[in-house]
Amino acid sequence: MLALGLALSFYTAWTLGANDAATPTDCAVGSGVLSVRRAVFLFALFSSLGALTHGYMVMKTIGKGIVPEVDLVGCITTTLAACVWVTLCSLRGLDISITYSVVSSVLGYGLVRYGLEGTNLGVLAKIFLSWAASPLCSLMLAFITYKVVSRVLTPYAGNLRTRRLLSCLLIAALCFSAYSFGANDVANATGVYVSVSEKVGRVPGKEAMFLLALLGSIGIALGGLTLGPRVIDAVAFRITRLDLLAGFAAELSNALVVYLFTALPYTLFGYGLPISTSVASNGSIIGVGIAANGLRSINLRTVARLVATWVLTVPCTMLLSGCFYALALGTLGLAP
């Protein structure tokens, strides 16, 4: 059963890369600096590095923060619920929040297994607050960054050296964004298996988190290289038009917000916050779009569709996870 669960975890990581490869790469592709193929290659490399070096910060939150622990049956049903939802949305080219999917699946499991009193409401409150704050932070930071950088560089915008500098900075921002993405999002694929790996696999905590991060990083890279371009096209070109300056401001702002929400809460509280990197990325794109051309430049229909999908993710994955877990217990003749 542990092998089955880890196989599902790897599949989750694959879907994560397939759907969220757009998060660090959308600005570089949308502004024409990199082709989709080259952008996805950089995404695969640097997201793996982020997962292996900082992935443990959010793994602890997913695996032991929301509920006391996730048992083996819960790991499988929680992962399965997230996989089903993410796969359906990815096949339709929808840029959903995989963080919302996984956290809500864990919450659905927790309500069946432990009841409301058994869930850590303090951690949940911090997570929900971060979900609201992260897109607003990235939007405002991108708006300010664009205004400041454009004031400095606009007089030299026609200069070839300036354009080359911006292109290099945008690629560097993509790499930093992919690194931050891997650090925050690998927990979505593997975090629920921390306790199980310690108890069933008899692997100490730190080693377990590193091995799970390695498994997740491989899956994320493969997902980005296979289905990633489908969602990149949806996000890179349909929210607003991006030039070099706008792409750099948006990507840098997104990377900073994701990294800070990963590392700073871990330093202060011992739990990195699993924010939605895709929501933060889209917030930064909207921020530079407003800063450059006003609200009229934003495709509000696309934004409304994205928001509706994110909101719908929470109850759907909670219900799927809770039903899958209850059904599995009934099939195995176990009590919650």
- The secondary structure of residue 272, as a DSSP letter, is -
Q: Is the pLDDT of residue 237 over 80?
A: no
The average confidence (pLDDT) of the chain is: 85
- The secondary structure of residue 200, as a DSSP letter, is T
Q: Is the pLDDT of residue 51 over 70?
A: yes
Identify the pLDDT of residue 295.
82
Question: In the structure, what pLDDT confidence band is assigned to residue 72 with cuts at 50, 70 and 90?
Answer: confident
| pTM of this structure | 0.85
Q: What is the mean pLDDT of residues 309-319?
A: 90
Identify the pLDDT of residue 191.
81
Distance CA 56, CA 272 (A): 9
Q: How far is CA 115 from CA 67, 121, 247, 250, 322, in A?
A: 10, 12, 45, 41, 11
Question: In the structure, what pLDDT confidence band is assigned to residue 324 with cuts at 50, 70 and 90?
Answer: very high
Question: In the structure, what pLDDT confidence band is assigned to residue 160 with cuts at 50, 70 and 90?
Answer: confident
Domain boundaries defined on the chain: 2-330
Judge whether 142 and 253 are in contact, CB under 8 Å.
yes
Q: Is the pLDDT of residue 200 over 80?
A: no
